């Protein structure tokens, strides 16, 4: 997909962070936008900004991507409203920190509902419309943590690894069937968004300390830079896009070390990560 002008672009999680940056980058390129988020206030602001940048048409919908019936209905409604769908970015995501032994199932189900089932719902709902468009592209946001694992992120890792596997398989299916749909898995490193500040944590984690550590030590790349890297990957029909120098460096380390990277990470984390409550 070389040109996003007049293309119909669907972006979930558009109310802030990478989703907002992608929305505005596409608006500058002249795309027609279908934007959604659970945060109605943030979504409305993104919509206003996109219109001010010249997007020909902007539709905003409050949507919980974990609600399968709602996503299925939304996909059909968007396709009917715009007449086609060219690019879908399943971006909505949340975070959950804590050792698995300390996590509550309610929080686990919440994270998997958004980060895994939300991406599955969006992919399954929109894929027929992307195929029918004659020029479609699917982007699923995984993570650096979909390429390597980190302590305290077991469920985030589980979801992001699953998103990677599903996305790569769907790409193979599109190639085999000869469908006109490009597929890209995106693996951002630390991005300067509010995801850590809005994350859930186990009872043994200090939420404020965890968020502060992420913001100070891990969030290196701006959402705007991430959006440009992602869209460049779409334009080049890339199967995999890594975002940020940290993503490239750590992926290289884990590739070179193989499974031994886990021991290195554990030693580093023992010294560097914020202490748990009462420790």
Which residue has tokens 């390429």?
147
For residue 74, indicate whether it is catalytic: no
29: Cβ contacts below 8 Å, ≥ 6 apart: 3, 4, 5, 231
Query: How many angstroms separate the first and last alpha carbons of the chain?
Result: 52
Quick check: helix, strand or coil at residue 136? strand
d(CA 170, CA 155): 22
Name the active-site residue from 156, 161, 213, 261: 156
158: Cβ contacts below 8 Å, ≥ 6 apart: 112, 116
pTM for this model (two decimals) = 0.95
d(CA 169, CA 127): 13
Alpha helices in 178-260 (DSSP H): 207-213, 223-235, 245-257
Q: Give pLDDT tens digits along the chain (279 positions).
A: 789 999 999 999 999 999 999 999 999 999 999 999 999 999 999 999 999 999 999 999 999 999 999 999 999 999 999 999 999 999 999 999 999 999 999 999 999 999 999 999 999 999 999 999 999 999 999 999 999 999 999 999 999 999 999 999 999 999 999 999 999 999 999 999 988 888 999 999 988 888 887 788 787 899 999 999 999 999 999 999 999 999 999 999 999 999 999 999 999 888 877 777 755
Q: DSSP string spanning 59-120?
A: EEEE--TT-HHHHHHHHHHHHHHHS---EEEE-----EES-GGG--HHHHHHHHHHHTHHHH
């Amino acid at each position: 997909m070389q040109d996003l002008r007049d293309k119909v672009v669907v972006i979930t999680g558009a109310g802030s962070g990478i989703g907002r940056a992608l929305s505005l980058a596409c608006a500058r390129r002249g795309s027609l936008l279908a934007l959604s988020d659970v945060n109605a206030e943030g979504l409305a602001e993104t919509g206003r900004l996109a219109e001010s940048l010249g997007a020909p048409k902007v539709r905003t919908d409050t949507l919980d991507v974990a609600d399968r019936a709602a996503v299925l209905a939304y996909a059909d409604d968007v396709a009917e409203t715009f007449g086609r769908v060219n690019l879908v970015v399943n971006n909505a995501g949340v975070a959950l920190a804590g050792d698995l032994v300390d996590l509550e199932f309610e929080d686990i189900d919440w994270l998997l509902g958004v980060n895994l089932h939300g991406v599955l719902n969006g992919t399954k709902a929109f894929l027929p419309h992307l195929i029918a468009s004659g020029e479609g592209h699917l982007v699923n946001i995984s993570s650096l943590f979909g390429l390597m694992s980190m302590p305290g992120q077991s469920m985030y890792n589980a979801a992001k690894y699953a998103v990677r596997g599903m996305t790569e398989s769907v790409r193979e299916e599109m190639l085999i069937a000869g469908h006109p749909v490009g597929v890209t898995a995106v693996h951002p490193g630390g991005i300067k968004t509010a995801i850590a500040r809005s994350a859930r944590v186990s009872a043994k984690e200090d939420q404020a300390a965890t968020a502060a550590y992420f913001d100070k030590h891990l969030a290196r790349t701006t959402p705007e830079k991430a959006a440009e890297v992602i869209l460049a990957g779409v334009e080049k029909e890339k199967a995999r896009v890594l975002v940020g120098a940290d993503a490239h460096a750590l992926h290289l380390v884990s590739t070179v070390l193989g499974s031994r990277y886990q021991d290195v990470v554990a030693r580093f984390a023992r010294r560097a990560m914020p202490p748990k409550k009462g420790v």
